[in-house]
Structure 1
């Protein structure tokens, strides 16, 4: 039995973020499906043993239990630095650039992208009506973020420098959902952003995540 367990849902962007990291690091692990439709993540057992906020994913490495997807990915990158893809730099200055990229994703990109994923990707799946005003507002906000990305990616191949890091990986789940919507045009219209997306979404580790998602 694998010491590492990832508890979550393959529909959850946060779960997909952790799974992408686990595959990039080539870690032996067990994926434990959490039935969110049945409210399993809100039940006492899950709250008391995995995440008191009732959210996925939850992560176990032996006796260590973590939640919050970006905290989990950082732990995996540091703890298993010598395995798989080097997802964070050891050099302090290069690491600082990567950390800035990670903060930009979390603070600038994701709040906007997640609203668009919900309105355009999730609501139609569950029979809810998309709020066009929210979509229009957040498309404009995302365009401004992607303008910054276009400028950055004109200078380096990846957001955290010249190699793939967590700064790039953290975008993969929302990109997956947004590329099935009208928002794809915002990425396609920016050549450096478009090339970056094509690169990171074709990574073997991410293709394994998508394969797992399709099996659930």
Structure 2
């Protein structure tokens, strides 16, 4: 379970103070599929980086699986992130001079996992996304949709409890986007907790729950409906 209460994040320079998140509240239960939308600059990316333990909030509470992770140090955040969280990025973030299998193994190396176990997990994850025959290819030899599926396999290989997807179909054509969304929906049906940031209302509608972030605060679907009816 992911729980955020009264969360705040402020970025400061010598001249400017930007409140990216303010009084931010969100709970995501184990096994949920939540879509997060909002205009550019609304705080979606900041939320995702904090949820993924890439940054710490300035104030408030963030609990992950019942543990207060709000003020963890860099090493503790890195360890927890590697153990519990999988990332799927819009730009894929694959290492171009490593094979597909080696790309999938990279996060597992940071766990100190033995080579045989890394390769077994990477191979199984690649089979899971239907690319078992492409393990020795380089990322540049694959289509955009195939690269995104490799990115999903990389996340799955670590058996994460939480899967965070940042615009996972943003760089794909309609056909490839549909295939990636079907794969994400299948993972959700199997019990994966999935949080997806997207600008696409059609993709957001496929989630179990939809929340919107505006000016650094969450407006859930029920609130949105009440405001429309008012």
Greater fraction strand: 2
Q: Which has the higher contact order (CA 8 A, sep 6+)?
A: 2
TM range, smaller chain: 0.3 to 0.5
After TM superposition, the score normalised by the length of structure 1 is 0.34
Greater fraction helix: 1
